[in-house]
Structure 1
Amino acid sequence: MAQFNITITEELLHGLFLSNGRDEAFSKLLEEIFNQVLLAQSSEQVGAEPYERTEERTAYRNGFRDRQMTTRVGTLTLRVPRHRNGKFSTELFARYQRSEQALILAMMEMVINGVSTRKVEAITQELCGKSFSKSTVSALCKQLDPMVHAFRTRPLESHYPFLIVDALYLKVREDHRVQSRGLLIAVGVNEAGYREIIGFQVANTETESSWGEFFASLKERGLKDVRLITSDNHKGLVNAVKRHFQGTTWQRCQTHFSRN
């Protein structure tokens, strides 16, 4: 691993320890360190210091381009070297992009777990020194839609002889109002005994019609030859099971039975 000598000016140190704007001072310090690292990496790849004449030179500098990096202490403006007859490369931004991706995934997870986009905006401001607007958070979460759709519509190629179905009620925000919605869930148990969520569907109410629509979609995707279905004793659910899985044994879930 390459080692670099970093020079810190007296002005930066005074700002760091004496200034009331501590984050701003850290930001300037970090910006200076990163820019010196980039310059040292450039010299290493070129084979010469700026304006140095040497036979070991392998390329020539061609100025700089500015690139911003958002950090916990603020947005840094970094001067990225350009090489005339060679490409400058650095791991600095690749590592930053991995951290940024982790932050985006964390924001998505917060929203999925019920944290409002307004609260996510405040949290990112606290953690990163820069907030992501509610619209930005919403746009990022919409990137999940194609993945969720692909998961919900994937062909069911495995054989699931046992099926567990249930409804989970969640609070969702629609039209600026928090409302209760049912999530119909089907868990398949394959021949090896492993459980797998094979489908889910949002329903306004838990009725025979909504369960029937859900079961029909599972069968269209390839669910067949189910030997045993376990669920609670909801009348609409049981009727839908009898209609869509004729000849399949139904058993009341003992967990629901003991709760009731």
Structure 2
Amino acid sequence: MRNILDKTPKTLQKEIHAKVRAILEAPDSDTARMLLNQVLDEYRTKAAKAMDILEFGFEDAVAVLELPERYRKRLRTTNSLERLNEEIRRRERVIRIFPNRESAIRLIGALLMEQDEKWASSKKYLDIAEYFEWQKEASKNSGEKVIPIR
């Protein structure tokens, strides 16, 4: 969204923001694609660079729409990643200066292992068992193999 708005003329930013938000919050990928085509047709001449960015990143941005709705809500944002980065920064501020690169890598590795243990043992952020059931159902319905999560 930021990349698109950076290349959008100031007078159109609110308008395009609302339209792009509608694309990202679409109930399914077909609706998102229809909205994308409408936005591209309407703004291609007025904000060409922004529309190029939107068109280029569309598939990546709406990939989450292929998942069950329960997972979309958590995976469509980068909140969990930003929270993890914030925790790394918080711990790094205490140390301030690392003696070498390996010590910084050890700190980050330890934090990631700690976070993995929390995700594995505490309240589940995403219930993978439910995902596997959805995956089996999707592969039965489509007749093709769904790529597993590892």
TM range (shorter): 0.3 to 0.5
The structure with more radius of gyration: 1
Considering fraction of residues, name the structure with more strand. Answer: 1
Choose between structure 1 and 2 for higher RCO, CA contacts under 8 A separated by at least 6 residues. Answer: 2
TM, length-normalised to structure 1: 0.22
